[in-house]
């Protein structure tokens, strides 16, 4: 059966690409990180002149990327997991996951370093929620010596570790002061996706 095109996933990708192209074309990638990046210390009282309201920065940070490698890999994972999540959860479900993932990533990053003044940028935290939902919804039950429930969670843990490991390697390849790897943010987003996937699936098909 032919499924509907992943319109929300594509929309998020287009907006993200447009933001990167615009900022890169005017040479404002680094400046934008200070204005729209999520800075944990701002919640602890650090004043930042000219920055967006701190409550908005978890969202604006998703539109900011340090370089082509950074945005390229994020878009790859967005399409790979987002389109499958959209089949199961619908466009609204993907949007909710993405937005909640962005804020969950910011909360986790704040907990990990509440006094950090380094901007957190990139869509990785929000995309982590899509990856987490994908792991929960599409985790394959491979032959294992462990009970099915244990094997499923081991598979999810492996996917989470692999996602974070790849992000760390990307950080080494595209090292920049504006883009330290926010491991806590990835974990926060991933957990949000795990927690929300099944309830959102049940809500979508509650009348089925």
Query: What are 142-161's pLDDT values in tens digits?
Result: 555 666 667 667 777 777 77
pLDDT greater at residue 145 or residue 85: 85
Distance between CA atoms of residues 182 and 167, nearest Å = 9
Q: How far apart are CA 77 and CA 108, in angstroms?
A: 21
Helix axes 7-25, 29-36, angle to 10 degrees: 120
Helices (H), the chain: 7-25, 29-36, 57-60, 68-112, 124-138, 148-173, 183-204
**Rounded Cα gap, residues 125 and 176, in angstroms:** 18
Cα separation, 125 vs 115, in Å, equals: 19
Task: Give residue 178's pLDDT.
Answer: 45
Joined tokens for residue 178: 């504006």
Cα distance between residue 149 and residue 141, in whole Å: 9
**How many other C-beta atoms are found inside a 10 Å radius of the C-beta of residue 119?**
27
For the structural domain made of 7-204, what CATH number should be given? Answer: 1.20.1540.10
**How many CB atoms lie under 10 A from the CB of residue 117?**
13
Average pLDDT, rounded, for the chain: 86
Report the Cα 123 to chain-centroid distance in Å: 5
Percent of the chain with pLDDT over 70: 82
**pTM for the model:** 0.87
Quick check: 1 pLDDT over 50?
no
pLDDT of residue 174: 53
């Amino acid at each position: 059966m032919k499924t509907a095109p992943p319109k929300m996933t594509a929309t998020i990708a287009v907006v993200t690409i447009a933001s990167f192209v615009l900022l890169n074309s005017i040479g404002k990638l680094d400046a934008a990180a200070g204005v729209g990046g999520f800075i944990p210390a701002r919640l602890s009282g650090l004043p930042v002149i000219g920055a967006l309201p701190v409550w908005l920065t978890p969202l604006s940070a998703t539109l900011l990327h340090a370089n082509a490698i950074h945005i390229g890999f994020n878009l790859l994972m967005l399409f790979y997991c987002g389109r499958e999540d959209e089949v199961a959860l619908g466009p609204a479900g993907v949007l909710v996951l993405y937005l909640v993932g962005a804020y969950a990533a910011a909360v986790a990053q704040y907990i990990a370093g509440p006094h950090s003044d380094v901007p957190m940028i990139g869509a990785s935290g929000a995309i982590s929620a899509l990856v987490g939902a994908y792991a929960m919804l599409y985790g394959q039950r491979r032959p294992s010596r462990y009970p099915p429930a244990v094997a499923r969670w081991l598979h999810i843990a492996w996917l989470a570790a692999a996602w974070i490991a790849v992000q760390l390697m990307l950080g080494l390849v595209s090292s920049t002061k504006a883009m330290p790897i926010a491991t806590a943010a990835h974990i926060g987003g991933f957990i949000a996706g795990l927690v929300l996937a099944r309830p959102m699936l049940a809500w979508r098909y509650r009348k089925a």
